[in-house]
Amino acid sequence: MSTAHEAHDDEHGHADQGSPFIQHHYDDAQHQFDSGKLGIWLFLAQEVLFFSALFVAYILYRVHHPEIYSYAHKWLQVKYGAINTAVLIFSSLTAAWAVRAAQRNERKLLIACLAVTIGCACTFLVIKYIEYSHKVHEHILFGRYFDPCVSPGGSELLTKHNDCKGTKGTVEWSLDQAGEIDLLNGKATTGCFEQSKFDVDPQEEGLQAECHVFEVKRTRNAKGEWNETGRREITNRCPEETIGEGTGEMGAQPKSGEAEKKKGAAFPCWKAAIQPAVCVPVMVPGKASSPQFGVLVEYGDEEERGEDIAIDAKCDPSKPLAEPADIFADKAETERVGAKAIKPIHHLTTHEEHELESLGPPPAHTNMFFTIYFAMTGLHGVHVLFGVFVFIWLLIRAVKGQFNDRYFGPIDFAALYWHIVDLIWIFLFPLLYLIH
């Protein structure tokens, strides 16, 4: 094979042997190529430093708040992440192949490789758009905009906006001066109840809340105040989320709890829902914070109900626990033919624990996971978009026949940049999508 670049002739007396793009201020073609190679490596080194700050933020939050990664990563679509990983790895192959084609003066192959690389990059961006649009629709966003309608396991959640499809909660969030939900300094103005008054038996699953729940229709008057125009009581209570079927015993085979729950639910129904980011725990000086819950009505449809529909709940504190019975007293036992005398204790598997966890509300600071997620994947996406523009520019030049075995530096430099972009994604995919 010939050397990478050879000298050339121009008005400055250099020996021209192949390309008018060898600049006169370099000694020869090899000098220009080496200078460009040094420049691109310096650029890539600062790119690594640029991303390293985000990786440090990831590590710190992963160490101090592992629960938010265990919970929040279930919102991510592993299928999409895996497809994007395969697409980028293949695009690295075509980018490297393009360099080889330029070195061998294979113009058609060079054009094909650049076109395929651009197509792979565009495929990556389209898949990221699909992922991002779903998260925007479900309010699974960064910082104070994190207000998801459903948990990773599919169970409906209380939200600050209270405008999710198929549900309506009792919580109404305070507004700012513009009349919008005050996500920065706001708090729940109504609809939250102190959990300790309704969960007097912590060993029993769910909240022992005794509530009368009403759907209220209302209209605003000239002063901006709400006037009630009608109400109906919602008497059905939604089944508790469970990973088992039938009676919900933990010994049953795990199934999709939300799907099983909706099969036997009579809509509309209500449930006591905990969402610490919405019903903020009450802080009393000198005492532990008191958790709160709200009441959420599920309609079993995809309709979004506006402000003219509100949920009003009147909850009474649960009855106090009865005195413990004499554990030595004789107990009346009834036996059934064919029934086992002793039921085996089922210990949850790791998969069942994760599935049960995904049905619950987000832990505190979950919004930071998506702050880091959007920062890292968004910045990476910008680099992919920039790479598309670069490869389009190279494709245009390749069509004009400007690259050959004497001059292929831009192809080589762009391929190096693309390899770094792909390598960063290879780290992002397992760190964000494959935590478990």
Query: Do residues 50 and 424 lie in contact, with contact meaning Cβ atoms separated by under 8 Å?
Result: no
Domains along the sequence of the chain with CATH: 29-142+367-433 (1.20.120.80), 154-244+258-322 (no CATH)
Give per-residue pLDDT as tens, 177-202.
877 888 888 888 888 888 777 776 66
Q: Tell me which of 317 and 139 has the higher pLDDT.
A: 139
Is 51 a residue whose pLDDT tops 60? yes
Closest residue by Cα to residue 298 from 265, 259, 257, 274: 265
Q: Dump the DSSP string for 259-323.
A: HHHHHH--SSEEEEE--TTTSPPB--TTS--B-EEEEEEE-SS-PBP-TTEEEEEEEEPPPPPPP
Query: Do residues 19 and 407 lie in contact, with contact meaning Cβ atoms separated by under 8 Å?
Result: yes
Cα separation values, 185 from 24, 182, 318, Å: 62, 6, 32
Q: How much is the average pLDDT of 381-401? A: 94
pLDDT band of residue 132 (cuts 50, 70, 90) is very high
Give per-residue pLDDT as tens, 56-100.
999 999 999 998 998 999 999 999 999 999 999 999 999 999 999
Q: State the pLDDT at residue 11.
A: 45
Q: State the pLDDT at residue 237.
A: 87
Q: How much is the average pLDDT of 212-228? A: 87
- The pTM score is 0.78
- Letter for the amino acid at 82? A
Closest residue by Cα to residue 404 from 28, 105, 29: 105
Cα separation values, 374 from 12, 54, 90, 136, 159, Å: 52, 11, 24, 11, 21
Q: Element (H or E) spanning 347, and its range?
A: none
Measured CA to CA, the distance from residue 98 to residue 413 in angstroms comes to 11
The overall average pLDDT reported for the chain is 81
Measured CA to CA, the distance from residue 121 to residue 65 in angstroms comes to 34
What region does 256 belong to: left with phi over 0, alpha with psi -120 to 50, or beta? beta
Q: Element (H or E) spanning 408, and its range?
A: none
Q: State the pLDDT at residue 316.
A: 75
Query: Do residues 303 and 267 lie in contact, with contact meaning Cβ atoms separated by under 8 Å?
Result: no
Is 29 a residue whose pLDDT tops 90? no
- Letter for the amino acid at 161? H
How many CB atoms are closer than 10 A to CB 435?
Answer: 16
Q: How much is the average pLDDT of 232-257? A: 58
Q: How much is the average pLDDT of 360-379? A: 92
Query: Which range has the worst mean pLDDT, 27-31, 44-48, 416-420?
Result: 27-31
Is 258 a residue whose pLDDT tops 60? no
Structure token digits, residue 34: 């080496």
Query: Do residues 52 and 44 lie in contact, with contact meaning Cβ atoms separated by under 8 Å?
Result: no
Query: Which range has the worst mean pLDDT, 158-167, 173-182, 331-340?
Result: 331-340
Give per-residue pLDDT as tens, 263-303.
556 888 988 888 888 888 876 666 667 788 889 999 988 89
Site of tokens 């400055």? 12
Q: How much is the average pLDDT of 37-45? A: 87
Q: Tell me which of 180 and 12 has the higher pLDDT.
A: 180
Q: State the pLDDT at residue 420.
A: 94
